[in-house]
Amino acid sequence: MAFLPITKKELEGKQLDFIMVSGDAYVDHPSFGHAVISRLFEAQGFSVGIIAQPQKDYDYTALGEPKIGFLMTTGVVDSMVNNYTASKKKRHNDEYSPGNQGFRRPDRAFTVYCKNLKRLYPEVAIIGGGSEGSLRRFAHYDYWADAVMPSVVYDSGCDLVIYGAGEKPVIEICDLIKKGIPVSSIKDVKGTCYITSFDTMPKKVMNAMKGDRSEFIQIESFQKVLSDKKSYAKAFKTQTMHLDAIIGKGIIQEQKDKKFLVQNSPSLPMTVEEMDNSSELNYERQYHPSYEKDGGVKALEEVKFSITSHRGCYGNCSFCSITYHMGRRVQKRSSESIVREAELITKMPDFKGYIHDVGGPSANFRETACDKQIEHGVCTNKECIGTKACENLNVDHSEYLEVLRALRKIPRVKKVFIRSGIRFDYLMMDKNPEFFNEMVKYHISGQLKTAPEHASNNVLKLMNKPDFSVYKNFTARYNEANQKLGLNQFIVPYFIASHPGTTISDAVELTKYLKSINYMPLQVQDFYPTPSTRSTCMFYTGIDPNTMETVHVPTADERLMQRALLQYRKPENESLVRHALLLTGNHHLIGNGPDCIVRADIKKANVGARPTARKSTKTDSKSNLRPNVKKYVNGKPAVGRNSKSRFK
């Protein structure tokens, strides 16, 4: 094995078939998409080189012109999420860059990379993919611009974009290229999308434009979703109903200049054998040696001794983009493949005996949600799990438990941890206690991270999360199991502030729970409207796309108060917490009693001052933040979202 070339010197005068352009530093590991796709093209017989984080023209031209085309991904994370916090502050660090350096990738990197490549190599095809290309493939709301933007496929000029897991489309694309078909003519591969005009679109797509909905459907145009929020919500709902390979149809959306985005239907889930093959390609399992001088790549640290056992998640949390990216089907590796990777890890010189994680998006979702999905596809009218679990849900940890047991027996393995997150509601449904007991006994590194997300059932329903009583029952059972084993292991709960639908009263309810368990989170995650989630749709439109009902969206001032309520012990938050409690009629929680959240004797002069949000830095006065907190009746918002008071 060897790293893929990154300089012309390594090519020895040869021209590469493909060049991968990546927004992340080059890390040759199966947790990094640019490595997976590059190694897969290599396994299909093509030569591939890597250009990581290009900034100047000479970076883009470092490997010359490829024979066939460029491959392009902006990285594991959307470039705007990577570059900015939820409060739109510029991040100065980047774990996916050498030495944790910030500012190594541009904003909206997908479009920037593609346009630069097209400018320098106008005749060379580009095949794009990754989270940014996948999640922005339709017209979408962009939180940072506070505007609806066209499809990134249209904006960027990319010839072909792969959405979801890329392996199956890549193999089919490779087969077509070997037959002499140019990338520009590839239009029928499942799991891909492209831009076309009415005159040049394939016949079956044109038939859909004329009313034949057998293979493709047309959704509201970019101009329509730009001008009408109900149309935006309706279009988003339609997109989510066609994410399954068995029942999903292709989708057409008009963009600008009489150009159309055509999304082919989703690719089929990967088989166990295909997952094994992808996970066991010729990876170096290390960042490129050229980064040593900068201190390496921090993002590798958490995954270097971790194992991905499966992909996909049927939890379908409203704020999560995984389902939109690759659907609700779980795709797993074989137990044998997982053990082989663990054995490989134990031979690494810096392995200390600890496998940091074995899991996926939800560690204990290893099987398909139900047998029906395999033949008939995923249901579009109900969820597998969440607010209400489906009666057909398969609840079984037995195979996952056997995998963990096998890993514990490998020589040199001291501990096998589960850090990717346990879905506690699914765990509580399992009538067999074996996995729960062994998880507590063997697989927790002192703290178990969980994601109840909130304490208000009104909010949890909009998040598609279970009733909060499920989490309470889980913590009681967890604590009891630890006590029986004589262990002192803690739960670290994860909560989101200011999710759409969250009122100040809901936030106070969460704070009361935190007070009751004598806990305050050290870090708080404000809701982050990332591209193409149900929650982001609610944030922008004030409409739940699943029901088309109005949803309250917290204003800027409310977001400040909700964040302060989560960290109610901090002295600097006392004024905000007091104001929130007075606003919601919770006067009895102000004082020095054991149940009080904030003390009464504040020495600061502005105790009774009304908290306000920091004004926008925009020159347009209409974009400045305006408080809206007075419009409450009995702690509940009397009106809907005030767009002029949005958190900036």
3-state SS, residue 508: helix
Distance in Å from the first CA to the final CA of the chain: 48
Helix, strand, coil shares of the chain, percent, nearest 5, are 35, 15, 50
Q: Which one, of 501, 537, 592, 600, lies nearest residue 225 by Cα?
A: 537
At 421 the pLDDT is 83
Percentage of residues of the chain with pLDDT beyond 90: 89
Give the confidence band of 600 by pLDDT, cuts at 50, 70, 90.
confident
CA distances from 42 to 36, 37, 69, 267 (A): 10, 9, 14, 21
Domain spans of the chain, in order of start: 8-192
Indicate whether 602 pLDDT > 70.
no
How far is the C-alpha of 98 from the C-alpha of 4, rounded, in Å? 17
- Which neighbouring-strand residues pair with 590? 598
**Nearest to 70, CA basis, from 134, 6, 113:** 113
Query: Phi and psi at residue 180, in whole multiples of 5°?
Result: 95, 10
- What local confidence, expressed as pLDDT, does residue 641 receive? 39
Q: Which two tokens stand for residue 292?
A: 């040593």
Question: Tens digit of pLDDT for each residue in 269-286?
Answer: 999 999 999 999 999 999
251: left (phi over 0), alpha (psi -120 to 50) or beta: beta
CB 151 within 8 A of CB 255: yes
pLDDT tens-digit readout, 210-240: 899 999 999 999 999 999 999 999 999 999 9
Average pLDDT of the segment spanning 81-92: 96
Mean pLDDT of 308-325: 95
Q: Nearest Cα to 127, choosing from 111, 108, 114, 109? A: 114
Using CA atoms, how far residue 322 sits from 240, 312, 361, 419, in Å, is 12, 7, 8, 18
* pLDDT tens digits for range 291-307: 999 999 999 998 999 99
Split at pLDDT 50, 70, 90, the class of 617 is very low
Yes or no: say if 91 and 286 are a contact pair by the CB < 8 Å rule: no
Assess whether pLDDT exceeds 50 at residue 106: yes
For residue 233, give the nearest of 476, 553, 457, 527 by alpha carbon. 553
DSSP per-residue codes, 270-287: PPHHHHHHHHTSS---EE
Report d(CA 443, CA 357) in Å as an integer.
9
Q: What is the pLDDT of residue 524?
A: 86
User: What integer pLDDT is reported at residue 642 of this predicted model?
Assistant: 37
pLDDT value of residue 648: 30
Nearest to 242 by CA among 161, 347, 151, 137: 137
d(CA 54, CA 306): 29
Cβ atoms 384, 390 nearer than 8 A: yes
Cα four-point dihedral sign 316, 322, 325, 328: negative
Q: What is the pLDDT of residues 336-348, one digit of tens each?
A: 999 999 999 999 9
DSSP code, position 630: T
User: How confident is the model at residue 646, as a pLDDT?
Assistant: 33
- pLDDT exceeds 90 at position 317: yes
pLDDT at 515 over 60: yes
Q: 609: helix, coil or strand?
A: coil
Average pLDDT over residues 498-508: 98
Contacts 24+ apart (CB under 8 A), 270-273: 270/165, 270/167, 270/168, 270/311, 270/331, 272/332, 272/333, 272/334, 273/334
State how beta strands 192-197 and 160-162 pair: antiparallel
Alpha carbon distance 305, 358 (integer Å): 9
The predicted model gives 569-592 an average pLDDT of: 95
d(CA 319, CA 499): 8
**How far, in Å, are 126, 152, 268, 501 from residue 122 at the CA level?**
10, 18, 33, 47
Confirm if 261 and 253 have CB atoms less than 8 A apart: yes
Residue 265 has which token pair?
Answer: 């239907």
pLDDT, tens only, 420-464: 889 999 999 999 999 999 999 999 989 998 999 999 999 999 999
Pick from 196-205, 253-262, 401-410: least confident: 196-205
- Tokens representing residue 84 in the block: 């900015």
**Is the backbone of residue 421 left (phi > 0), alpha (psi -120 to 50) or beta?**
left
Distance from C-alpha of 126 to C-alpha of 630, rounded to nearest angstrom: 52
pLDDT at 601: 60
Residues 379-390 have pLDDT tens digits of: 998 999 999 999
Average pLDDT, the chain: 92
Provide the token pair at 241.
């109903």
Residue 52: which of 113, 10, 120 has the closest Cα? 113
Q: Which two tokens stand for residue 81?
A: 């999420």
pLDDT tens, position by position, 544-573:
999 999 999 999 999 999 999 999 999 999
Q: How far apart are CA 630 and CA 639, in angstroms?
A: 10
Of the candidates 340, 272, 349, 348, the one whose C-alpha atom is nearest the C-alpha of residue 307 is 340
- CATH code reported for the domain at 8-192: 3.40.50.280
Instruction: Check residue 125 and give its pLDDT.
Output: 98
* Backbone dihedral region for residue 525 (phi beyond 0: left; psi -120 to 50: alpha; all else: beta): beta
Query: Position of tokens 């099987």?
Result: 367
CA atoms within 13 A on the CB side of 170: 27
Look at residue 523 in the predicted model and tell me its pLDDT: 84
Q: Count CA within 13 A, CB hemisphere, residue 319.
A: 22
Q: In terms of Cα–Cα distance, which of 562, 556, 559 is closest to 615? A: 556
Mean pLDDT (whole number) for 509-516: 97
131 pLDDT band, cuts 50/70/90, is very high
